[in-house]
Amino acid sequence: MDCKIHNSVLNMISEAYTYCRIILDENGFPCDYEFLEVNPAFERMTELKASDIKGKMATELFLGTRDEDFDWIGLYGEVALTGSEKELEKYFSSTGRVYRINVYSPEKYYFVTLFTDISGTDERYHRLAENLGDIIYRYDFFPERGFSYVSQAAASIIGYTPEEHYQDPDLAMKVIHPEDRELFESYVRGEFPIDGPITFRWIHKNGSTVWIEQKNIPVYGPEGNLIALEGVARDISQRKETEKREKHLKQVLMAIRNVNQLITKETDPEVLIEKACGNLTETLGYYNAWIALMDDDQNIILTASSGFDNGFEKLESEMAAGKYPVCMQKVLERDDVIIIDDHLVNCKSCPLEVEYIDHAAMCYRLQFADKIYGIITVSVPVEYSRLKEEHHLFKEVADDLGFALHKIEMEKKRRWMEEELRNREEKLKKIFEIMPVGLWFADEKGQILLDNPAGARIWGGEPVVKPEDSETSRVHRYPSGEELRPDDWALVRTLNKGEKVADEILEIDSFDAKRKIIFNYTAPIFNEQEDVEGAVIVSQDITDLKETERMLKERIKELICISAVSQDMVKNMSVEEFCVRTADHLSKAMQYPEMASCAIEIDGSMYSAGESMPDMDNCLHAEIMADGDFMGYLHVCYLQNKPFLLPDEQNLINSVAYMIGTWLEKKQTQKSLMNSDRIFRHAQDMLCIAGFDGYFKVLNPSWSKTLGWSTEELLSRPWIEFVHPDDRRMTEQAKTTLVDGQEIYQLENRYMCSDGTFRWLSWNSYPYREENIMFGVARDITGQKRREERLEMVNRCLLDLTGDFTFNVNSITSLAGELLGGSCALYNRYDRENHQLVTIGKWNTPPDFQDKDTPEGHICYDAIIQGNDTLYISDISQTKYAWTDPNVKKYDIVSYAGHVVKHESEPAGILCVVFTREYHLTEDDRRLLGILASALGSEENRFHYTRKLRENEQRFRKVAESVADGIWDLDLKTSRAYFSDRYYEMLGYSPGEFEPSYESWKSMIHPDDIEYAEKALLGYLEGDIPEYNVEFRMKNKSGGWTWIQSRGKISQRDEYGNPQRIIGSHIDITEHKKLEEMNKNELIVKEVHHRVKNNLQVIASLLNMQSRNFDDEKVKAAFKDSQNRVKSMSLAHEKLYGSENLASIEISDYIKSLVNYIFQTYDTGKGNIKIHMSSDTAYLSMDIIVPLALILNEIITNSLKHAFPDEREGTISVDFRVRDDECLLQVSDDGVGISSDFDIESSNSLGLRVVNMLIQQLQGTIERYDSNGTDYVIRFKK
């Protein structure tokens, strides 16, 4: 019954009644209230039905509850929680009425409200109106037109006092903005509902514009006519400004979307920046925009603009001249958005100053990965230039353009590298054409598919023929001369057996009728099925090399032969023994000793070193002369017709024949002395009988003739007194031998002449002990000794020759002058190309002697042109040269002796000795001069052959240095190598900065690549893999790693086919590797992260814009919490996008960025809360980073909101540590703390529920401590 009475009473009263329950948030603060019961009066007041009200939340029914100036929820919460009672009067603009509100609590958490309409009480109404922030007014149309009431808020909103309104009835029309007066007049005429809200612009007394929202209640008279308007005018300028700002941001977002669509498909930077400027202004996001691109030295290379009437062309000219505007200078110095909003101060000299009036300029870098590509500048309303959202969006579009320019640059590099590869292929083709060795490529049938010019030159202008088509007589094995059958060709063996051949040396008759020696190397080419599908042939003309080797060997053999014969000449042996030994020495000195046969014919007797006699029809002969008499012949023959004798061999044969004749002269003299007394008296040899007492007994006349002493003088003194002091001991020993009854032979000592000089004597003696005497034959061998000394000097000179051409020529020339005793000696070469006589070697020449001269008139020139071997002039004054040769008169030359020097059988120069006295040239002189001239010819040949070899080597080196690749040549026996300059440079070193060797190569390879690289090289050298082509990293000078593609081929093998040398190249493929990796992973992954980050940023911006539509702080806080959660995830993608590591993020830098952002978001500007951060360095994946970021955001946000009330000072600490495989995150504050009975797991708070869910996702744990504030400790596996 009581319940029915209660309900009847509530239904009957005029006061609006409600019964509600207060709602608390997770921290125990009132956040809403629920309607449990209302009466009909409340239904009329709110124009809502009870069924639509009961069970609903206030914020759900009245959306503006949180945004009102009055805190209804706080008032009702205080009554419901404390039990106190409240009474207040309040004007409601929605009803245009004033109510007295009584509030009390029947029990905790519940409250009752009674609304009593007191609008009829003018005094209260006016008092309430004066306290409102809106303008309350009444405008009467009857009986008089004008304001009857205006609240004091008018003065603060539009600048006019209520008194001014009362005095001017037309002020209501005057304050209307001129552009809105027509709308106002339409409203007054009733074209719009008069009791509906309407928006106008009013002109403030100071001239500014104020946006006003009006709501009027018409007042009608008894006759139903309109007599007055009562209304409320609210200042909504701030709301209009917010709407305008949101419209602007939407336009900017539209521009960013257009730019994003543009950068995905545009590849030309000039078109990109032009279209980007157009997109930024076409959407009305920005008033104008301009972009300037720069090179690495920050010089302007491209510009684009949009939205300018004039001035930008002048700015372009100034920037091209290096004069940059202030905004550009600042943004290049500092990586941040630069704002220029006072152009009169900062941009006085800028050509765009007029364009920026009433606008602000924002300037930022176009950059990616620390590289600045240029700058972008846009203009916005001054009031928006300091907005964080504006800055974020502007940075977003700048970063997008920076990324697009980076992508274009990478694409340009990729195209450049492709072009570079094509260029290298062309260079390799050119190298193929200019290589000094012949190269051929043949198919599986042996058909030549490709050859280079060097190969054609080797075969005399024609490519090499197929083995089965060639004439076998054209090709022989070297040095055996064996004809080569078609099946024995290296190419055929390679194609048939699939093996490499590196032992083929052939002697060929080329198509240009020249005999050549070539070295061939062949290697098979395999297809994918490992079948031989062709071969490569490398051929090198080694004719000059083999010729040089042969000549050097022959020269040594000649010297050995002459030395051996000279030693035999002083020994006591029979004619047969001497001739047989000499024939043997000479046979060994021939070019082909195994095919040579030598014989000596003396007085009809033939002496040979071999068992068989040579065929005299295929011989060279030299006459043997002794004392002017013909004694016989020296025969030298080859057993086969093929080899041919060389000119040097003929010279050697002549020299040996001369030596044989000299030896026979000596033998004949000895024989004559022993057989005839007449010979004793008339013998040229010195015959004597001497006693054991040391005195001569009998002397023939030759003693006096030879020594100059008279016979009496010689007989009167002991013969030992005539012996040279250095030879007396040896002579006394020889006397003792004779006294003992033994003969002596070939004893040589020196006897003094009457003029004090000494002459060499060679003794053969035998004793006659019965008479105490000894017989002796002494021959004057002073001339022979002189010849031997001269020959020994020649031998020493030739043996001491080095690889230095100039030294050798001067040594031989000097020896010629010394041996002949001339005034000076010269080796003059005729330079046919420049038509000059050039002195190459000289001895004892005057200081003013000219090394070069025109040849006409010179004795040497005529001798060279005539080509005769020897030219001797005893008295030049009797010849034409006395006036034609300029040196004859200048240096008083009397006699001349010269011998032509030949190079490849052609006269090249002359070795000459000149005398300032008359000189008689002996036959010995002629022979010695011939030997020395022959030695000079050998030097000329060696010099030319060596120079050709050096030129070939230098040509190879130049080719190696001219290419962009690094060339290497490795000697596998010594491990030493050659590295080209480019080899060093591609690793950052100067040429020769480290030792070229296998060990240095190996030590610079990346540890992860060394096993693979060595395995590839050894596999190729051992024949396990067909080619050496491998990629690895090498350490460069800066400490980084350079990617190298290494290729190589075996260039030399030993007689067993084992590799001896390998040559190859290094190519720097670092950029190619980077581009390849980016094409595979980086661009795709970074693009994904970039788009995710952009989308999250747009969501955050939309949340921020949407939050401005609500005045309720709790709604705004909820939006801000959501926005921060999105930003936490966006920041993770942004860090990953800007990182080189696309799989993980460095946690310490990320925590710092995230915490700083949260603090900036909740920053009140008071600085009462400090932040302390510390973290280990660790890289975590996105699966951990994102939940960890959301946890950190929730905990720090909760601390900022609730831990420090009433501007209390304090500190929030964030500490992250990694221990083995476990991570520990500790977030603490020293604020007011949380109740000890608060359970985080059962909390209704959305934020803490999110934290619990994320901890479970990480499979971790969370603990809370409340000793001094709040301390959260979170553990999870790494």
Phi, psi of 154 (to 5 degrees): -60, -40
- What is the 8-class DSSP label of residue 444? T
**pLDDT, position 469:** 46
H runs (alpha helix) in 518-646: 543-569, 575-588
Which are the contacts of 575, defined by CB distance < 8 A and separation ≥ 6? 602, 607, 664, 667
Cα distances (Å, whole numbers) of residue 819 to 42, 268, 655, 913: 148, 85, 17, 10
Cα distances (Å, whole numbers) of residue 211 to 138, 767, 802, 907: 20, 158, 109, 116
Minimal CA–CA distance to 649: which of 588, 707, 577, 692? 588
Which residues make beta-bridge pairs with 100?
A: 89, 116
Question: Using CA atoms, how far apart are residues 1123 and 1103, in angstroms rounded to an integer?
Answer: 6
938 lies in which domain range? 801-950
Question: Using CA atoms, how far apart are residues 1120 and 1126, in angstroms rounded to an integer?
Answer: 10
Cα distances (Å, whole numbers) of residue 1122 to 1202, 1246, 1249: 18, 11, 14
Question: Using CA atoms, how far apart are residues 709 and 684, in angstroms rounded to an integer?
Answer: 16
Say if residue 143 is preceded by a cis peptide, omega within 30 of 0.
Answer: yes
Q: How many domains does the chain have?
A: 9
Please give the full DSSP string across 836-856, using - where no structure is assigned: EEEEEEEES--TT--SEE--T
We report the CATH number of the domain holding residue 503 as 3.30.450.20
Which are the contacts of 1242, defined by CB distance < 8 A and separation ≥ 6? none
**pLDDT, position 20:** 94
Q: Does 378 share its domain with 278? A: yes
In a domain, 177, yes or no: yes
The answer on pLDDT for 1042 being more than 90 is: yes
- Judge residue 1026's burial from the number of C-beta atoms within 10 Å of its C-beta, 0-12 exposed, 13-18 middle, 19 or more buried: middle
**pLDDT, position 1185:** 82
Return the number of other C-beta atoms located less than 10 Å from residue 1230's C-beta: 20
H runs (alpha helix) in 774-908: 782-799, 805-820, 859-866, 881-884, 886-891
Minimal CA–CA distance to 801: which of 998, 935, 645, 632? 935
- What is the 8-class DSSP label of residue 595? G
Q: Kindly report, residue by residue over 607-644, the tens digit of the pLDDT.
A: 887 655 555 566 778 888 887 788 888 888 766 554 45
Burial 146-185 (b: 16+ CB within 10 A, else e): ebebbbebbbebbbbebebbeeeeebbeebbbeebeebbe
Question: Using CA atoms, how far apart are residues 202 and 209, in angstroms rounded to an integer?
Answer: 6
If you average pLDDT over residues 219-236, what whole number do you get? 80
Average pLDDT, the chain: 82
> What is the enclosing helix (H) or strand (E) of 1272?
strand 1270-1277
Q: At what angle do helices 237-263 and 269-282 cross, to 10 degrees?
A: 160
**pLDDT, position 963:** 58
Phi, psi of 109 (to 5 degrees): 80, 0
Q: Does 973 share its domain with 938? A: no
If you average pLDDT over residues 1072-1081, what whole number do you get? 70
- Chain centroid offset of residue 849 CA: 56
In a domain, 793, yes or no: no
Question: Using CA atoms, how far apart are residues 467 and 1117, in angstroms rounded to an integer?
Answer: 94
Is pLDDT larger for residue 454 or for residue 291? 291
**pLDDT, position 642:** 43
Is pLDDT larger for residue 1141 or for residue 494? 494
Q: Does 767 share its domain with 871? A: no
**pLDDT, position 1085:** 52
Q: Does 137 share its domain with 119? A: no
Domain boundary (212, 235, 258) is at 235
Minimal CA–CA distance to 202: which of 159, 246, 266, 158? 158
In a domain, 1116, yes or no: no
Please give the full DSSP string across 190-237, using - where no structure is assigned: TSS-TTS-EEEEEE-TTS-EEEEEEEEEEEE-TTS-EEEEEEEEEE-H
Q: Kindly report, residue by residue over 147-188, the tens digit of the pLDDT.
A: 888 888 888 889 999 888 888 888 888 889 998 888 888 877
Return the number of other C-beta atoms located less than 10 Å from residue 1022's C-beta: 10
- Which residue has 């060389």 as its token pair? 646
In a domain, 957, yes or no: no
Question: Using CA atoms, how far apart are residues 342 and 352, in angstroms rounded to an integer?
Answer: 13
Pairing of strands 97-104, 209-220: unpaired
CB 1069 within 8 A of CB 1045: yes
Q: Kindly report, residue by residue over 573-605, the tens digit of the pLDDT.
A: 788 888 888 888 877 777 666 656 788 888 878
Between 644-658, 791-805, 919-933, the lowest mean confidence (pLDDT) is in: 644-658
Q: Does 138 share its domain with 176? A: yes
Tokens of 376: 């972008």
CB 539 within 8 A of CB 519: yes
Q: Does 25 share its domain with 110? A: yes
Is pLDDT larger for residue 1089 or for residue 1217? 1217
Between 557-566, 690-699, 728-737, 803-812, the lowest mean confidence (pLDDT) is in: 557-566
**pLDDT, position 467:** 47
Q: Does 942 share its domain with 976? A: no
CB 356 within 8 A of CB 341: no
Q: Does 680 share its domain with 666? A: no
Domain boundary (753, 786, 819) is at 786
We report the CATH number of the domain holding residue 323 as 3.30.450.40
Minimal CA–CA distance to 1112: which of 72, 35, 22? 72
Structure confidence at residue 1080 as a pLDDT band (50, 70, 90): low
In a domain, 1109, yes or no: no
In a domain, 1101, yes or no: no
Tokens of 508: 């060929």
In a domain, 16, yes or no: yes
Which are the contacts of 422, defined by CB distance < 8 A and separation ≥ 6? none
- Hey, is 376 helix, strand or coil? strand
Q: Does 231 share its domain with 298? A: no
CB 1211 within 8 A of CB 1230: yes
Q: What is the dihedral of CA 255, 258, 264, 269, to 10 degrees?
A: -60
We report the CATH number of the domain holding residue 1188 as 3.30.565.10
Tokens of 727: 């030879």
Q: Does 267 share its domain with 385? A: yes
**pLDDT, position 120:** 59
In a domain, 1114, yes or no: no
Domain boundary (888, 920, 950) is at 950
Tokens of 248: 């602007």
> How many residues are recorded in the chain?
1278
If you average pLDDT over residues 1248-1260, what whole number do you get? 84
Question: Using CA atoms, how far apart are residues 520 and 431, in angstroms rounded to an integer?
Answer: 19
Pairing of strands 836-843, 501-509: unpaired
**pLDDT, position 470:** 47
Tokens of 766: 């035998």
Q: Does 231 share its domain with 259? A: no
Tokens of 186: 């339409």
Q: Kindly report, residue by residue over 285-308, the tens digit of the pLDDT.
A: 788 899 999 998 889 999 999 888
Q: Does 265 share its domain with 388? A: yes
